[in-house]
A and B are shown apart, each in its own frame.
Chain A
Amino acid sequence: MSWGPCFMYYHCPECGKKFKSATDMIQDLGPKFGMCPVCGAEGVLDKEGARTPDDADYEEID
């Protein structure tokens, strides 16, 4: 049984950018995981879980 990737969904407190990364990207992204891809600020965790159909407004960072 698998469940697809588990995502962590963030928004940037500085620029408002919404973004998400699968937890297995912690290995690849290292300290950049959870950081805003635009301004580099530490993201605020909004939610986590499996991919959902309404999550397109969160850019996938990998």
Chain B
Amino acid sequence: MADLKNKRIITAAVTGAWPKKENNPNVPLTPAEISEDVYACWKAGAAVAHLHMRDDNGNGTMDKNKFAETVKLLRANHPDCDIVLNMTTSGDLYATDETRQIHLKELKPEMGSYDCGSMNWMNSGLFINSPAFLEELGKNMQEWGVKPEIEAFDPGMIANAAYYLKKGVLKAPLHFQFCMGCANGITGSMKNLVFMKETMESLCPGSTWSAFGVGKSAMEMLYGAVAMGGHVRVGMEDNVVYQKGVLADSNAQFVERAARVIREFGLEVATPDEAREILSLK
């Protein structure tokens, strides 16, 4: 195994819960489209695929059958693809606590998202992650062998993760995804990314981390995370434009750019197996 300190994991978040074809015609929505995009991203260097699903109208859904169909298509059509699957638990603001996690129990992906607190969403709705839900989800993920990816939209969510770590709901080493620039969360700036990293290191030492920025901060967070020893997430869940005024051609286009940035820094893009080592998945 190569020196993992010089490896950076690229996570591809290909769909998310909001963008539709009218926002970018290249966003994948169906299980067939999502599975093909995941494969293309893997070919481009992504080690982890963060999966969201859509219903037949293109709206976010936690329908376990959609997750199952996507995995089935990926495995059947691309048996060479060893990408780490990371399934959302937050793909529909109106899903129940049960439907937010049943797919983890049945499909047992290697990773799942764990949104470590509640917040107002886009100044219009509530993104609720109640204490009862987080305790249940954390314990279940341990039982099912699913590694939580702790999505932190502000420093308070890192503090909450430290609390759940002390309580045994979460198990070290933790892995964080710093979600920068989302409305009602911490804004995407280098100063804030440094603060998130330092907060994590003081509260949850020994953790690994990744980051992404939505909108204008996307590139700043990409470069900043790579420079500060973090991993990165890219894809149309977070940005439908590749650069100002230009829609992205594909999710793979984002992955290719992230891989170029990593290599320009003199670092290497982690393979899925290297990501498994870094994230203590095996």
Contact = CB atoms under 8 A, between A and B. Distances in A.
B188 interface: yes
A60 B246 CA distance: 13
A24 B215 contact: yes
Contacts of B183: 3, 5-6, 23-24
Contact of A1 (B19, B90, B188): B90
A50 B22 CA distance: 12
Contacts of B212: 2
B179 interface: yes
A6 B122 contact: yes
A22 to B, nearest CB: 5
Interface residues of B, number: 38
Interface string B104-132: 00000000010100000111100100000
Please classify how large the interface on chain A is, using the bins under 10, 10 to 19, 20 to 34, 35 or more: 20 to 34
Given A3-B17, A3-B121, A53-B23, A24 B244 contact: no
Which of B121, B127, B183 lies at the interface centre, i.e. has the most chain A CB atoms within 10 A of its CB?
Answer: B183
B16 A1 contact: yes
Interface in A32-51: 48-51
A25 B213 CA distance: 13
A37 to B, nearest CB: 15
A14 interface: no
Given A24-B216, A60-B244, A4 B121 contact: no
B84 interface: no
B151 interface: yes
B252 interface: no
A4 B216 contact: no
B216 to A, nearest CB: 5
Given A48-B123, A49-B124, A60-B244, A5 B17 contact: no
Interface of B: 13, 16-19, 22-23, 52, 88, 90-91, 113, 115, 121-124, 127, 151, 179, 181-183, 187-189, 212, 214-217, 237-241, 244-245
Interface of A: 1-6, 22-28, 48-53, 60, 62
